[in-house]
Structure 1
């Protein structure tokens, strides 16, 4: 029995020694400067490469999937930033256009008031239109200036384009404006407009007494037969009445015809001012009369 154990130990030692020798031989052979692989190495290399492809391709697909997901998230975040930038630009563009339009309007008003001040020495108070009456029989508009601001009844109200109307009633902080489109020659309380032709003030004269809502024109009557007024003339206030000051543009003559009994003529006037969508108006203050119209 003891001899058998010794034999087995000697055999195991022998096998270990043979394995060590083969391992050293293989290592030396592998590390040697060779150009070609042996057939076992080729077989092992092909086997490992074949097995690796089954792991490499799915791993590549999974890595690509995560890369695509990350790219999509980055693309979504970039699109959100671009969308916010575009929205901000659109808001800024709208704000810029509004400011540019407002600046142009204010510049136009400034040029107008400077020109009128040099011509007539009037003072103009800028007022905001806060409401328009829906009453078909009393179409007045309310502005945000009142007696505390120096506004009085019968002051003329204009835009930079022409005459709008006059102050009909005044409160401390607001006033009502009666537009010239509400002129009624048949009313006992009518305030007619004494008018003339710009550039020919001494020779032309007439009375604007009503507005025709159907054709959107003012009616100018009591024009003398020899009056030089003609189509295309610019009609302005003459200042000879009891309400409106001199030199405010009313409109342009579009046509004329023989008046009642053939003794006078009648003219139709296109108003110079636009009455729809009014947001700002100018209240005319005549300095010599402390705001009262001449």
Structure 2
């Protein structure tokens, strides 16, 4: 008994015992079926919630910051992918437009060749332009067809628009084309004059294209007889006379007609159908007797 009394006299042990009893009592209240919380529970819950809010909000801000940084990184990667796709689209579109333009060009050339073949008895052999000389004293081009392809001097060369010139020199694999812009009636080395007529007036109209005016860019059609029905706006084509230029080659459009000095003949200025520049493909005209 004495020992027990001494134990209870120990203040620390007494306080510990009282605390343990109060904890048991509080636990008993907590485990019981109650509608309202006790004040210790309310105090503990409010204190805990306050402390949690102090840590939770900053932690949420930090977590949100890292999430935003991650989103920015993903957005930057997506922008890079979109830039690459846009560049690929631009390249593919340019390639598509180039192929489309080429196909349209080939289609136009094919239709032109077929139409000419139906109208006149000659064939057109396509040629690529290798080089172009634009010197006033020597306007000529070089094409990639030569004697091995059946090319011969004085064969006519045309574009889709109209007559370009004639073959002047031939090697095994290439040929030189003398352009109509070099036509000069006073130069014996110039390309041969062109016997010409008016489209749809072939039996009524005739003249000789003998020269090209470098200043005006016009061809001159001379020796047009009196009463010829040629008028501005008419389309001039080769008549086939003379044996050099096949019949039906488009030459140009009549711009004006002037009566000659003595009234016996007239002269017409012809705007060439071919523009004599920016050529890609030309055609060499093969007549029946020259087709090999």
TM-score (norm 2): 0.89
Any conservation in 2 of the 1:233–1:252 contact (CA below 8 Å)?
yes
- Map of 1:1-294 to 2, 5 A cutoff? 7=6, 11=10, 17-190=17-190, 191-290=192-291
Whole-angstrom distance in 1 between the partners of 2:81 and 2:267:
66
Offset, 1:227: 1.4
Offset, 1:18: 4.4
Whole-angstrom distance in 1 between the partners of 2:33 and 2:186:
125
Whole-angstrom distance in 2 between the partners of 1:289 and 1:145:
15
Whole-angstrom distance in 1 between the partners of 2:6 and 2:128:
121
Any conservation in 2 of the 1:221–1:259 contact (CA below 8 Å)?
no
Whole-angstrom distance in 1 between the partners of 2:72 and 2:169:
67
Paired residue secondary structure (1:230): coil
Whole-angstrom distance in 2 between the partners of 1:58 and 1:147:
89
Offset, 1:139: 1.6
After TM superposition, the structure 1 stretch with the greater mean CA deviation from structure 2, 276-285 or 49-58, is 49-58
**Structure 1 residues 35 and 187: CA distance shift in structure 2, 3 A:** same
Whole-angstrom distance in 1 between the partners of 2:176 and 2:8:
126
Offset, 1:37: 2.7
After TM superposition, the structure 1 stretch with the greater mean CA deviation from structure 2, 132-141 or 10-19, is 10-19
Offset, 1:262: 2.6
Offset, 1:267: 0.4
CA distances 1:126-161 after superposition (whole Å, capped 9, x unpaired): 111122114332121121222222222211111122
Any conservation in 2 of the 1:139–1:182 contact (CA below 8 Å)?
yes
Paired residue secondary structure (2:73): helix
CA distances 1:267-290 after superposition (whole Å, capped 9, x unpaired): 011112232211111111112134
**Structure 1 residues 130 and 8: CA distance shift in structure 2, 3 A:** farther
Offset, 1:90: 2.0
CA distances 1:74-94 after superposition (whole Å, capped 9, x unpaired): 222222222222222222222
Q: Structure 1: state its 5+ residue gaps.
A: none
Whole-angstrom distance in 2 between the partners of 1:4 and 1:144:
129
TM-score (norm 1): 0.89
Q: Structure 2: state its 5+ residue gaps.
A: none
Paired residue secondary structure (1:270): strand
Offset, 1:162: 1.0
Offset, 1:6: 9.9
Count of paired positions: 289
Any conservation in 1 of the 2:123–2:291 contact (CA below 8 Å)?
no
Any conservation in 1 of the 2:255–2:268 contact (CA below 8 Å)?
yes
**Structure 1 residues 117 and 22: CA distance shift in structure 2, 3 A:** same
Paired residue secondary structure (2:135): coil
Whole-angstrom distance in 2 between the partners of 1:8 and 1:121:
138
Offset, 1:19: 4.2
Offset, 1:255: 1.0
Offset, 1:253: 0.9
